[in-house]
Amino acid sequence: MALFGDFSRLIFLLTVLTLFSSVVNCEDIFLEWHVAVDMTINPASVDQPVITVNGMFPGPLINCRNGIQQRLNSWQDGVSGTNCPIQPAKNWTYVFQTKDQIGSFFYFPSINFHKAGGGFGPIRVNNRVVIPVPFSQPEADFDLLIGDWYKQNFKDVRSKLNTTSEAYDSSPDSMLMNGKGSYLDPLAKAHESFTVTPGKTYRFRISNVGIAWSINFRIQNHRMVLVETEGSYTNQIPLDSLDVHVGQSYSVLVTADQNAADYYIVASPKLVNVTEHSPLVAVGVLHYDNSTIPPNGPLPIGPDPFDREFSVHQAQSIR
């Protein structure tokens, strides 16, 4: 998605996506998008412009079948240089086939640092019915977009990062989980929570939608099984935590196999010193549907954030 112009003058941008979900049985999915700026969301507890799609931050889910490869139409991929910018108050219709790919992705604005102001959302690309999935069907899928966030107007941040000194010294102010603050942050307007049923297995589709920082993701008292990354199923690896770098997406399976209670979901930045109650640590909740016990105890411990070998070894183990 390419966005262009001064958002203070942008009332709305209408985007219609036409997705062709299979070659044999062609199904058209029409999505009407109104892209705008909202000053009331305040994800970092300050007034700032947030880019929304249909009033949502993050934007709505694109749930399609059989892949997203830009065949012979690279001008539709939304990247500056191959896609013409969408002018303020103008419309643009994307038309492309979804084929030969599966997995978890996300869309985002690709120019003028707009991604630091929002405009992103999840994409699920499902197998065709005739192609088996190499694991049992989970009870439900959860999309989880995690990323660093600045308190300033994204245009001000863009200007600052244009200078050499600020580019190396400026750091994000918080970490958001699906556009929401930390469960442990008393100033946060909301936190993310997922409800599960004991004994059931769920698929978490995790994407790092941030600007600067890699993250380590983990769930208190729960192991994960890695099963997919960005268009490919992987060897199924049991994990206590998972490093997700900027722009990456992974799927993990999580089984609700613990006592009925609520548990912390944590994403912390890499290469940064943080404390447990820092806004730089995104904290959500895994809620068992028969639980009356809020999450408690210390946050689950991840690897040393400065342990680069852990991250390299984990990446090399994925096939």
Q: What is the pTM of this model?
A: 0.86
Instruction: Say if CB 4 and CB 85 are below 8 A apart.
Output: yes
Q: Which residues contact 200 (CB under 8 A, 6 or more apart)?
A: 138, 139, 255, 256
Same fold: 7-126 with 140-317: yes
d(CA 288, CA 199): 10
d(CA 113, CA 83): 16
Domain 140-317 has CATH 2.60.120.1090: no
**Of 239, 224, 219, whose CA–CA distance to 300 is shortest?**
219
Burial of 81-92, coded b for 16+ CB within 10 Å and e otherwise, reads eebeebeeeeeb
H-state helical runs in the chain:
154-160, 164-169, 308-317
CATH of 7-126, one of 3.30.70.260, 2.60.40.420, 2.60.320.10, 3.90.1150.10: 2.60.40.420
d(CA 282, CA 273): 14
Q: Which residues contact 3 (CB under 8 A, 6 or more apart)?
A: 13, 35, 51, 85, 86, 109, 111, 112, 114, 119
pLDDT in tens, the chain (319 residues): 444 344 433 333 334 444 433 334 556 778 888 999 999 999 998 999 999 999 999 999 999 887 556 666 666 666 667 777 778 888 877 776 656 678 999 999 888 889 999 999 999 988 888 888 999 999 999 999 999 999 999 999 888 888 767 667 778 999 999 999 999 999 899 999 999 999 999 999 999 999 999 999 999 999 999 999 988 999 999 999 999 999 999 999 999 999 999 999 999 999 999 888 888 999 999 999 999 999 999 999 999 999 999 999 999 999 9
Domain range summary for the chain, segments of one domain joined by +: 7-126, 140-317
Instruction: Say if CB 172 and CB 148 are below 8 A apart.
Output: yes
Burial of 16-29, coded b for 16+ CB within 10 Å and e otherwise, reads ebebbbbeeeeeee
